[in-house]
Chains A and B, each alone.
Chain A
Amino acid sequence: LADSDKELVSRAQAGDLQAFDALVSIHQARVFALARRMLSNDDDAADVQQETFVRAWRSLRKFRCDAEFATWLHRITVNLCLTRRRRETAVENSYFADAVSGAEPSAAAMLEKAELAAETRKALAEMPANHRVLIVLREIEGRPFEEIARILGCSESSARTRACRARNMLRQKMKPYLTAT
């Protein structure tokens, strides 16, 4: 995938729109997933998904192929999400409605699972954006710290420390649900 990325990137850098279209096709799902996990609703995530690729196109000439295109793209996504999260003032109610509506109302276990997932999302939404991003990248997406450091533009040890703080914060927020289950 990385090799085909390189070829497509170099073609896109030369102005080939079809190559860039192919890059969008390959990476759009992961970009949206990352944005959705960082933000509170689908609309905002879709906005970020689109904006990520437009910005990537604008600064494609600055991209050097020594880094992975996906990592570079995810860095743009995270930066856009962090900027947007700073503007968000409250957690949107529709977010929980989305999470619960996906469950079967007849199945109590499913509902409970969906409710717990909603509570987890709520706890994540309440966390500061710079902590939340660590939970998303490390605990949900399971990325290595080396890549997280490149995405966030910080050192690996700093990423580890921040992840540790973020996990403790999440654990504190979810304490009532952890002891109950």
Chain B
Amino acid sequence: VKRECDRFEESIWEHARTGAELTEEAARHLGSCPNCRRALEDAKKLSALLVEAGRVVHTPDCRRAVMARISAEPSRQVIPVWAYGLTCACAIALLGVAAIFLTPSRELHKSAPAPLAAKKSACAKSGPAPMIPPAAVKKQALPAQEVAVRPARTSKRAVQKVRVSMVRRLRGPRRAVVRAGEAVSSDRVSRAGIQPNSSNVQSATTGTRPIAAVYVTWPQPGEPEDASYHYVEHNAETNETTTCWVKRSGDRIEIHMESKSGGSEPPVKGSIEHDENTSNA
């Protein structure tokens, strides 16, 4: 009986959710099965409750934040597919060239005793045979040495590339984090496109209690270089509301904060002057 009921479970829920007509077979089964009739009643009630529970009233607009984060990322170069093929071909060609350069040096090492043997036999026959001068041996072995030093040169170039990309990142949107305590999750910080580290995090002391957390990123797209704005952040964990006023002028940023707990405690006030030149140094 259970297996029979399972067959109609999906159509019962579909009917409860959308009002779609039951198949003849399902309707016949419902007529004779009190369990499935109860399941249909429950499904109808649950569907209505789920619609209510799943209602989303307010949708935040994340466009600005997303575009700011994307713009802050290092620029991506779109590499066409043919470029991958070309790179592979070049790599294979390089390997081929390397193999060509390596092969004679091996032969050279293997055949090095040969002139001596030739010399001995030649001496026995008709006096001293012409020897290969050491300078000539070195000259022939040179390509192999060049191949050997190549990785070192490549790694130097790689280091230079890293440095260049770091410089480029520093030239991107300037940002600063001011944080105290551990109230804000790392996710929230990354949402603002900030990786906290010793150079961009400054501790805030505000008297008796730590301020929840404040992060600032600027300039936002379309925002003037010298901007003043404020925002309010509510910390659900501590039930603390922090209002933050940010005034930016050139390389200098002033942050004034007022933090108020959910209870009857008086607000805690604090202010920080953040100098970008010193923090990014």
Q: Would you call A54 and B70 a contact (CB within 8 A)? A: yes
Q: Is B46 an interface residue (CB 8 A)?
A: yes
Q: Would you call B6 and A117 a contact (CB within 8 A)? A: no
Q: Would you call B17 and A164 a contact (CB within 8 A)? A: no
Q: Would you call B63 and A28 a contact (CB within 8 A)? A: yes
Question: Which residue, A25, A42, A58, A99, has most C-beta atoms of chain B within 10 A?
Answer: A42
Kindly identify which residue among A17, A25, A164, A177 contacts B6, using a CB–CB cutoff of 8 Å. Answer: A164
Write out, one digit per residue, whether chain B residues 15-47 have a CB within 8 A of any chain A CB (1) or not (0). Answer: 001100000000000000000000101110111
A36 to B92, CA, bound (A): 51
Sorting the interface of chain A by its residue count into under 10, 10 to 19, 20 to 34 or 35 or more gives: 35 or more
Which residues of A lie under 8 Å from residue B62 when comparing CB positions? 24, 28, 32, 46, 49-50, 53
Task: Given the known inter-chain contacts A140-B50, A171-B42, A171-B46, please indicate yes or no for A28 contacting B9, CB distance below 8 A.
Answer: no
A102 to B57, CA, bound (A): 10
A8-52 interface with B by 8 A CB criterion: 13-15, 17, 20-21, 24-25, 28-29, 32-33, 36-37, 41-43, 46-47, 49-51
> Nearest Cβ in chain A — how far from B133, in angstroms?
58
Q: Is A63 an interface residue (CB 8 A)?
A: no
Q: Would you call A21 and B63 a contact (CB within 8 A)? A: yes
Q: Would you call B54 and A136 a contact (CB within 8 A)? A: yes
Task: Given the known inter-chain contacts A21-B63, A50-B62, please indicate yes or no for A113 contacting B52, CB distance below 8 A.
Answer: yes
Task: Given the known inter-chain contacts A15-B76, A46-B60, A50-B65, please indicate yes or no for A139 contacting B50, CB distance below 8 A.
Answer: yes
Q: Is A160 an interface residue (CB 8 A)?
A: yes
Q: Would you call B42 and A50 a contact (CB within 8 A)? A: no
Q: Is A148 an interface residue (CB 8 A)?
A: no
A167 to B224, CA, bound (A): 53
Q: Is B59 an interface residue (CB 8 A)?
A: yes
Q: Is A57 an interface residue (CB 8 A)?
A: yes
> Nearest Cβ in chain B — how far from A24, in angstroms?
5
Kindly identify which residue among A17, A36, A41, A51 contacts B67, using a CB–CB cutoff of 8 Å. Answer: A17
Which residues of A lie under 8 Å from residue B121 when comparing CB positions? none
A154-181 interface with B by 8 A CB criterion: 160, 163-164, 167, 170-171, 174, 177-178, 181
Q: Would you call A53 and B66 a contact (CB within 8 A)? A: yes
Kindly identify which residue among B6, B17, B45 contacts A178, using a CB–CB cutoff of 8 Å. Answer: B45
Which residues of A lie under 8 Å from residue B236 when comparing CB positions? 41, 43, 92, 94
Which residues of B lie under 8 Å from residue A114 when comparing CB positions? 52
Q: Is A64 an interface residue (CB 8 A)?
A: no
Q: Would you call B60 and A47 a contact (CB within 8 A)? A: no
Q: Would you call B70 and A178 a contact (CB within 8 A)? A: no
Q: Would you call A164 and B66 a contact (CB within 8 A)? A: no
Which residues of A lie under 8 Å from residue B65 when comparing CB positions? 50
A135 to B50, CA, bound (A): 9
Task: Given the known inter-chain contacts A21-B63, A135-B50, A140-B50, please indicate yes or no for A164 contacting B9, CB distance below 8 A.
Answer: yes
Q: Is A153 an interface residue (CB 8 A)?
A: no
Q: Would you call B66 and A50 a contact (CB within 8 A)? A: yes
> Nearest Cβ in chain B — how far from A140, in angstroms?
4
A58 to B112, CA, bound (A): 57
Kindly identify which residue among A25, A41, A142 contacts B18, using a CB–CB cutoff of 8 Å. Answer: A142
Q: Would you call B78 and A120 a contact (CB within 8 A)? A: no
Question: Which residue, A29, A46, A114, A163, has most C-beta atoms of chain B within 10 A?
Answer: A46
Task: Look across to chain A and name the residue whose beta carbon is closest to the beta carbon of B187.
Answer: A47
Task: Look across to chain A and name the residue whose beta carbon is closest to the beta carbon of B56.
Answer: A33
> Nearest Cβ in chain A — how far from B163, in angstroms?
24
Q: Would you call A116 and B49 a contact (CB within 8 A)? A: yes
Write out, one digit per residue, whether chain A residues 77-93 have a CB within 8 A of any chain B CB (1) or not (0). Answer: 00000000000000010
Chain B residues within CB distance 8 Å of chain A: 6, 9-10, 13, 17-18, 39, 41-43, 45-47, 49-63, 65-67, 69-71, 73, 76, 78, 187-188, 190-191, 236
In the complex, besides A28-B61, A49-B62, A140-B54, 19 extra interface pairs with C-beta distance below 8 angstroms are A24-B67, A25-B63, A28-B59, A32-B59, A32-B60, A41-B236, A46-B62, A47-B187, A51-B190, A61-B76, A117-B53, A117-B55, A120-B52, A142-B18, A167-B9, A171-B39, A171-B42, A171-B46, A174-B49
Nearest first, the 7 A-B pairs at minimum CB distance are A140-B54, A120-B53, A117-B52, A120-B49, A33-B56, A53-B66, A117-B53
A-B contact pairs, 7 of them (CB 8 A): A17-B67, A28-B62, A28-B63, A33-B56, A41-B236, A120-B52, A139-B47
